[in-house]
Structure 1
């Protein structure tokens, strides 16, 4: 093979990669738009009257996740299914950065919806089910552990904001429950040996969320509002 022929051959690979990147970019743009719609919908729970609308907002968010599953299904088709597993893994890793951010954002939104519904931590398997993707790497397009954890940490920041807005809305018990949840979350992350990477930096921000919520709880305790809320609940 001559030098010109060799580089023409290489150009074929580069052109094929560029086509895949462009296809992925188009799908990711649509996913980002849907994610913004879900976020806008859930942001209303921060309003003074938003707590009463939590069930309906979560239901509408669940419906939008059906659209998310459709778009993620389109993204899966961008990878050849007839190739060997390790080849698909190489492709998946190669283009992961194109959808990493939106997948983390979707994981956060799924985690936030589940928390609003049950005040519990969503599992990685539940997030994958909501998004319609896999958990096991060998099965194809999947939710990485790092992306799941990043989504959970984004949710922690959202809950710290919710704790503050709960006081404004006159719900003095919710910050106490959020505080307990975030402290358990912080304890869980302390068990992980996170390296110095973006996930570690995002985890470092969790301590500020813990502090912010503790200040809200402390202020409620000083004013006697927490005890007053508890007494009202006992009655």
Structure 2
């Protein structure tokens, strides 16, 4: 039998490990709370894009200022999370990171009309890595869900653009989202959260198609305007 002193020593070590893990979790929660609040502020700022074309550029500039602050938070997360325990604590920042993937990709699309790459978003967040072997990294599923959220926001923007008299943006959005939809269809997604989120994309595509169809019926925009909306072949930023 194990002596009482030996048992106490073993469980003292267990308690120390639990306390150290709890300390890490508390640190992660505190950082995520601050970074998530920044994401909420950015989301609120971007509501202007549905009401004012002139407000888009200022919103993007303000968002980039807040991305820099979020970058500092992610750098802290990278420092506090043990390199081998990324997925042990991943749930703490999973949904927050998905939101940032959406917000950053929205910013880049509004600025340049192109798709933000996985590497670009990782760089904006200060993660600087996309491979699992590097420890703290930008998870691919988080990035893809962020893109699906982007499609939903662009579908909403397509409707509101027409409301404020912009008949060209829905065509640009339609072209971009259709290409994203085609890209997602190349992936062999299993029946999980990502698959369910992708299934909702068809409704966004349908909503945008209805907007474009209504514009075509009304003869808007003019043919020369549609020619001007042709996008470059390369849809990813570098």
Gaps of 5+ in 2: 230-238
Hey, what does 1:70 align to over in structure 2? 72
The Cα shift of 1:38 comes to 1.1
Hey, what does 1:172 align to over in structure 2? 167
Hey, what does 1:58 align to over in structure 2? 60
Q: Please, which of 149, 154, 162 is the counterpart of residue 154 of structure 1?
A: 149
- Once residues 91 and 227 of structure 2 are traced to their aligned partners in structure 1, the CA distance between those partners, rounded to angstroms, is 50
3-state SS in 2 of match to 1:52 = coil
> Relative to structure 1, is the Cα distance of residues 115 and 46 closer, same or farther in structure 2, using a 3 angstrom cutoff?
same
Q: Please, which of 215, 225, 234 is the counterpart of residue 220 of structure 1?
A: 215
- Once residues 136 and 223 of structure 1 are traced to their aligned partners in structure 2, the CA distance between those partners, rounded to angstroms, is 49
**Pair 1:127 & 2:121 matched:** yes
Q: Deviations over 1:26-68 (max 9, x none)?
A: 1000011000111111111111xx2122222211111111101
Q: Please, which of 15, 19, 23 is the counterpart of residue 23 of structure 2?
A: 19
CA contact (8 A) 2:71 2:125 kept: yes
Hey, what does 1:185 align to over in structure 2? 180
3-state SS in 2 of match to 1:77 = helix
Instruction: Give the TM-score, by structure 2 length.
Output: 0.88
- Once residues 72 and 121 of structure 1 are traced to their aligned partners in structure 2, the CA distance between those partners, rounded to angstroms, is 22
Q: Deviations over 1:106-153 (max 9, x none)?
A: 111000000000111110011111111122333332101111101111
- Once residues 77 and 6 of structure 1 are traced to their aligned partners in structure 2, the CA distance between those partners, rounded to angstroms, is 29
> Relative to structure 1, is the Cα distance of residues 103 and 220 closer, same or farther in structure 2, using a 3 angstrom cutoff?
same
The Cα shift of 1:8 comes to 2.8
Hey, what does 1:83 align to over in structure 2? none
3-state SS in 2 of match to 1:51 = coil
Gaps of 5+ in 1: 81-87
Hey, what does 1:85 align to over in structure 2? none
3-state SS in 2 of match to 1:202 = helix
CA contact (8 A) 1:173 1:229 kept: no
> Relative to structure 1, is the Cα distance of residues 79 and 207 closer, same or farther in structure 2, using a 3 angstrom cutoff?
same
Instruction: Give the TM-score, by structure 1 length.
Output: 0.89
CA contact (8 A) 1:166 1:174 kept: yes
> Relative to structure 1, is the Cα distance of residues 232 and 9 closer, same or farther in structure 2, using a 3 angstrom cutoff?
closer
Q: Deviations over 1:90-110 (max 9, x none)?
A: x11100111101011011100
**Pair 1:7 & 2:11 matched:** yes
> Relative to structure 1, is the Cα distance of residues 95 and 231 closer, same or farther in structure 2, using a 3 angstrom cutoff?
closer
- Once residues 32 and 233 of structure 1 are traced to their aligned partners in structure 2, the CA distance between those partners, rounded to angstroms, is 38
